[in-house]
Amino acid sequence: MFDMNRLHPLRHFSAATTMTRGSTVHAQEIGFTDLNKQGENGKTVFARAKRGQFFQTEPHLENQYLGDAPLRAYLKRNVPKKVLEQFAPDLERFGHRCATDIHQLGRECELNPPSVQHFDAWGNRVDDLITCSAWKSMHDIAAEEGLISIAYERKYGPWSRLYQIAKLYLYIPSSGLYSCPLAMTDGAAQTIDRIDKNTGHSLLHEKAFPRLISRDPQKFWTSGQWMTERKGGSDVAGGTETVAVPQEDGTFKLYGYKWFSSATDSNMTLALARIVDENKQTTPGSKGLSMFYMETRNEDGSLNGIDIQKLKNKLGTRQLPTAELLLDGSTAHLISEPGRGVAGISNMLTITRLHNATGAVSGMRRMVNLARDYSKRRTVFGKLICEHPLHMQTLARMEVETRAALFLVMEASRLLGLEECKMATEHDKLLLRIMTPLMKLYTAKQAMTIASEGLECFGGQGYIEDTGLPAMLRDAQVLPIWEGTTNVLSMDVLRAIAKTHGKVLQTLFKEIQEKVAIASKSSNVHIQNGCQATSQSVNKLAKFLEGEATRDSSLLEVGARDFAYSLARTYMASLLLEHAVWDEATELDAITVARWCEQDLCPVVTNHSRGHYDNKSVTMDTRLVMDGYTDKPLSKL
């Protein structure tokens, strides 16, 4: 008979003993016999016995750059040696700061969330937004460290963007969510940079832009992005009610209610609104939306026709002053062609989505590295948890996800750098267009999984707020929501394909196949298997697209999420393959390929073959969801 006791992890323990690092220690050696010890005055010494002598060791943060082998390898592989030699020392120095003083400030931001004082002592409406000193320090640090400016100074040509994103990646998990205003600041800078300087927007180019990219804390401005209104954040065209009333001096007055305005302390914002025509009418839908520039304060420091209605009570990102704002005659400047607001603000979305993905992968890396460190400190069942193979398997799975996500985000940054320096080919531009939603949607979901799995690696301590760990999970949950939910982004993938008549897809497939062709020369069995799995996935996708799917748009829409996952996973496989056949690649890179390719790279074909997208299945989905639903208030049940 099988001895169940063999499976019991505690089988070596007796009631009188416990274990430390593999050796048996009698209870009296660790102080519990003091329970019965008599003090000099004859009383029991409780204090020592009550608390015991064992305290768990907290995980340590290491230099965020030096401790990140995959990041350093990616940069070494892609950036010319002479260029990397110039900015790598800055990343190393900053990697230390992100584990020390900046990390401390980030924690302070978490512990001292913002508040609003609506009225002064005399009853005047002031809407004073109160933020902690650490939050204000983050503003200065962002300027001094060039967290935005690096990308626009272009000191390192096309590598500037990659350098900036790598620096942000080190920074974000320690930033106390100051990363959010920086994302929008970067998006606004990019949007302004792409507006023709000859169109008469001197305010934008001469005032706002230099401030957004300044390294001087006194001059540095942050920007908001005011899109979302009460009707919702996804359907921007259907949800925007804010109107823009033309003024005689050529400016506009905005009236409306912005439902989610993050970074309420920003100096300026880009906002969408509908221009009121001479008949006092507005145009509905996307074609009625225009993009406006507005400063949040007037010359005298008062708010520019803005009432801060309330700060949002959010699940996470509590460090960040996200507010509901009433715009009541805010002075604004039209900066897009009338009716081209969505197209205009899409530049901003491309950047903020890259920041979102950078935040996702940096959170994953932080969690994996903390859990890795903890595994070398925490002893259970007689040995360090890093000595438990099952625990190492869990961490290794998290590591594979993190590596794949890192390469995807870094690759997008590399392409963006090329595009910004006008060095991108048509192929690069098309690739970047489809990569942006794929990267955003996929890494956000990975980040949630890793954050949750990561907390488990700390046991109960992962659930205790004082450790700072639960905030990582709460904050990660914004990633699949902010800047477009997973399904909205999946639809953006389809939009990009339709808009380019399939060119983005052809480009992506070509890119994957080229990487596979190079990797397939390797004799390493893991790489060969990876090449085979990746090629098979591309072939399956191509066949799927040739079939009925493309003829029925509603079918394609139901499959949009699985389709996006398939593209993301297959492309990430090719990025891992590319890395694994690099001259300086190690066996670990081949193993990473093997592990990544063990999953279903092409869930859209799997689920299509199961009939998940046909009409019957759609009906069944609705029936499943609505089973037992009565649509009656509780009182009537």
Under the rule (CB under 6 A), what is the footprint of ligand UCC? 180, 227-228, 233-234, 236-237, 260, 262, 286, 317, 320, 322, 342-343, 346, 349-350, 478, 481-484, 488, 492, 495, 499
Q: Are strands 379-380 and 323-334 parallel, antiparallel or unpaired?
A: unpaired
d(CA 574, CA 561): 20
CB of 155 vs ligand UCC, minimal distance in Å = 28
CB of 419 vs ligand UCC, minimal distance in Å = 13
Tell me the residue number closest to ligand UCC, measured at CB: 233
CA 202 to chain centre: 33
CB of 179 or CB of 522, closer to ligand UCC: 179
For residue 558, give the H/E element and its range.
helix 553-558
CB of 180 or CB of 306, closer to ligand UCC: 180
Bridge partners for 257 per DSSP: 326
d(CA 335, CA 349): 16
CB 560 within 8 A of CB 490: yes
CB 298 within 8 A of CB 347: no
For residue 272, give the H/E element and its range.
strand 268-275
CB of 234 or CB of 251, closer to ligand UCC: 234
d(CA 286, CA 340): 8
CB of 68 or CB of 483, closer to ligand UCC: 483
CB of 526 vs ligand UCC, minimal distance in Å = 36
CB of 256 or CB of 382, closer to ligand UCC: 256
CB of 180 or CB of 576, closer to ligand UCC: 180
Measure the CA dihedral 227/232/235/237, to 10°.
-50
CB 341 within 8 A of CB 334: no
CB of 288 or CB of 530, closer to ligand UCC: 288
CB of 10 vs ligand UCC, minimal distance in Å = 43
Burial class (CB in 10 A: 0-12, 13-18, 19+), 74: buried
Helices marked H in 234-340? 236-239
CB of 418 vs ligand UCC, minimal distance in Å = 17
CB 310 within 8 A of CB 118: no
Exposure b/e, 317-329, CB count within 10 A at least 16 = b? bbbbbbbbbbbee
CB of 488 vs ligand UCC, minimal distance in Å = 5
CB of 358 vs ligand UCC, minimal distance in Å = 11
Angle at the Cα of 131 (from 128 to 136), degrees rounded to 5? 125
Could you list the beta-strand ranges (E) of 335-467: 379-380, 383-384
CB of 264 or CB of 534, closer to ligand UCC: 264
d(CA 354, CA 439): 8
CB of 217 vs ligand UCC, minimal distance in Å = 22
For residue 292, give the H/E element and its range.
strand 289-295
CB of 84 or CB of 361, closer to ligand UCC: 361
- Token reading at 420: 């910004």
Please tell me the total number of residues recorded for the chain in this structure.
637
- Token reading at 357: 């993905």
CB of 253 or CB of 433, closer to ligand UCC: 433
CB of 59 or CB of 559, closer to ligand UCC: 559
**Residue the block writes with tokens 């989505």:** 353
Identify which of 298, 292, 143, 145 has the alpha carbon closest to the alpha carbon of residue 210.
143
